[in-house]
Amino acid sequence: MIEDGTKRQIDALEAENAALKEELEESRRSTTQYLQNVAHQLTAPLGAIKWSIEALKDEAVPIQRKGKLLSSIYSQGTILVHLIKNFSLMSNLEADHELGQFRDKPERVDPLRLAINLANDFQPQAAEGGKKIYVNENSFKEIFDGTSILVVKNLIAQALSNLLENAVKYSNLRTAIYIEAQEVKLPEDNELFLAISVRSIGIAISSHEIKKLHNRGFRGSTAKQKIPAGTGIGLYIAKRIMDLHEGLVLVRTNGNETIVLLCFPQSRVQ
Amino acid sequence: MTKSNGIILLVDDEPWLSEALAATLESKGFSCVFATDMTAGIKALEENSVAALVTDIMMPPGSQFPHVNANEVGFHFIDYVQKHWRGLPIVCLSVIGDHAKIHLLTRKGIRYLRKGETPLSTAVEVITAVALGRKVRI
C-alpha cells in the first residue's frame, strides 16, 4: 500500500516527466522547422544562381536580359556569402562569449569607410526592390570627428551587414535606407555611446516584439507574413558581436520607421 | 520575337528566380507577368488572359488576405484560382518537402516542381507543355 505522501510525490514526478517530454517534443519541432528554414535560405540563392547560369547559356535569351541575370548572380552570391558567414559565426561567437575575449585582434576602423563599403555591397540587392542606400557622411564627420573605432573589423562589418540586410529585406519598395552616425545617451545611467544606425521605412514592430528581436531564431509576426523565409539570426548575431565589444544593439521604432543602432562605448572610440 | 504563345503568370516573392525563368520563357515566345503575393496574383489574373500560372507556396498573402498564413499561401491561392479560373493550367514551383501536401497538389492536377533541384530547361519544358495544352513527358 503506497502512502498518500509517496503517491503525491509519484504524481508530481509523473507530471514533471510529462511536461519535460512535451518541452523536448516542442524543442524537436522547432529545431526541425529551423533547419528546414535554413535549408530554404541556402537553396533559394543557389537555385537562382543555377537557373541564371542556365539562362545565360541559352543562346535564345537576348543579351539585354543576360546583363540582368549577371546582376542577379552577383546579388545571390552576396546573400550566400553573408548567410554562410552568419552560420559559421554563430558557434564561434558562443565560444568567444563564454571566454569573454576575441578570436582576432581588434584594430582601428574608420566607421565612415566601413559604412560606405557595406552600402556599396548591398546596393545591387536594394536596387532589385527600387530601394537605395544612402550614407549620411556629415553625421559621421560630426559624431566621430575623424576618430576610429577599436573593433574586430570582420565582426563589426558582419553586424552592420545584418542590419543592412534586414533593412533591404523588410523596407517598403522604392524607399530609401539611411546609414547615419549618432550619439546615444542611456536614460538609466546617462552613459554615452557613439552609434552607427540603419534607418528604414517598412514594417511596424510592436514594443512587445522589439524585446524579442535579439533572441535567436525569433522573427516578428508581420515580418514572417511579409517575407516568409528567414532565419531570425541577424540581430541575435549583431547583439552577440556588440556584447563582445562592450556595446549595445538598440531598436527604435516610430510607426513604420525602424532605426537599429550599433552603439560603441567611448572607450572604443580613439 | 513575337510573343504568340500566350501569357505566363509567375507568382513568387523571390523575383530573382522568376527572372531567369521569364528570360527563357520569353525567348520561347511567351509573355510573362509577375506578382509577388496572392493578392497581386489574383489582380494579375483578372487583368490578363493567362495561359498558365506558375506559383510558389511560401509567399506573402497581400492586403486582401491578411489572415492567411504566409507558409501556406500557395495552397489557398491554388484553391482560389481553381474555383474562379476553372481549367487554368497551374505549375507549383516550391521547396515544400511534405509528401502528403505534394500528393494533394498533384491530385488536384497541379504539376509540382521542386525549386533548386529542377533544371531550368525542365521547368520551361513543363510550363510550355501545360500552357499549350500538350501532355508533359518528363
Question: What ipTM was estimated for this complex?
Answer: 0.88
Determine the residue type at A262: L
Candidate ranges A89-98, A120-129, A152-161; pick with highest mean pLDDT: A152-161
Q: What are phi and psi of A66, to 5 degrees?
A: -70, -30
pLDDT classification of A196: cutoffs 50, 70, 90 = very high
A187: amino acid identity, one letter: P
pTM, two decimals, is 0.76
Range name among A200-204, A205-209, B61-65, B83-87 with the lowest pLDDT average: A205-209
Q: Provide the strand spans (E) within chain A.
A: 107-109, 132-135, 149-151, 176-185, 192-201, 248-254, 257-265
Angle of helix A137-144 relative to helix A111-127, nearest 10 degrees? 160
Phi, psi of A119 (to 5 degrees): -60, -45
- Residue B65 DSSP label: -
- CB-CB neighbours of A98 under 10 Å: 8
Of B114, B88, B120, which is closest to residue B99 (Cα–Cα)? B114
For residue A95, pLDDT over 80 is answered with: no
* pLDDT band for position A30 (cuts 50, 70, 90): confident
* CA within 13 Å, CB half, A225: 16
The single residue listed with the C-alpha cell 522547432 is A30
pLDDT higher at A68 or B32:
B32
Smallest Cα distance from B48 to chain A, Å: 23
Q: Please tell me the predicted confidence (pLDDT) of residue B135.
A: 61
pLDDT above 70 as % of chain A: 99
Flag whether pLDDT at A35 surpasses 80. Answer: no
Could you tell me the pLDDT band of residue B69, with boundaries at 50, 70 and 90? confident
Q: Which residues contact B124 (CB under 8 A, 6 or more apart)?
A: B21, B24, B25, B28
Residue among B17, B24, B95 minimizing CB distance to A58: B24
How close B112 gets to chain A, by Cα (Å)? 16
What residues of A are in contact with residue B121 (Cβ under 8 Å)? 54
Average confidence (pLDDT) over A196-214? 88
Which residues on adjacent β-strands are paired with residue B50? B7
Contact state of B24 with A69 under an 8 Å Cβ cutoff = no
Of B16, B26, B95, the CB nearest to A76: B16
Q: What is the pLDDT of residue A112?
A: 97
Contact B66, B43 (CB under 8 A): no
Q: Does the pLDDT value for residue A228 go beyond 80? A: no
Question: Mean pLDDT of all residues in chain A?
Answer: 89
- pLDDT confidence tier of residue B4, bands split at 50, 70 and 90: confident
Residues in A lying within 8 Å of B, measured between beta carbons = 36, 39-40, 43-48, 50-52, 54-55, 58, 60-62, 65-66, 68-69, 72, 75-76, 128, 224-229
What mean pLDDT comes out for the span A162-169?
94
Query: DSSP label at B137?
Result: -
Buried b (16+ CB within 10 A) or exposed e, A69-93: bebbbebbebbbebbebbeebeeeb
Give percent of chain B above pLDDT 70. 95
pLDDT (0 to 100) of residue A1: 57
Between A212 and A56, the more confident residue is A56
- Is B121's CB within 8 Å of A54's CB? yes
Average pLDDT over residues A189-201: 94
Least confident of A107-111, A143-147, B134-138: B134-138
Alpha carbon of B13 to those of A18, A140, B94, B127: distances in Å? 41, 35, 11, 19
Are the Cβ atoms of A128 and B16 closer than 8 angstroms?
yes
CB A114 within 8 A of CB A156: yes
- Measure the CA–CA gap between B80 and A106, rounded to whole angstroms: 56
Q: Which residue has the cell 552609434?
A: A195
**Please, are residues A168 and A126 in contact by the beta-carbon 8 Å criterion?**
yes
Could you give the C-alpha distances from A81 to A75, A252, B71, B125, in angstroms and in order?
A: 10, 28, 25, 32
Cβ atoms of residues A52 and A68 within 8 Å: no
Interface test with B, best of A43, A56, A57, A225 (most B CBs within 10 A): A225
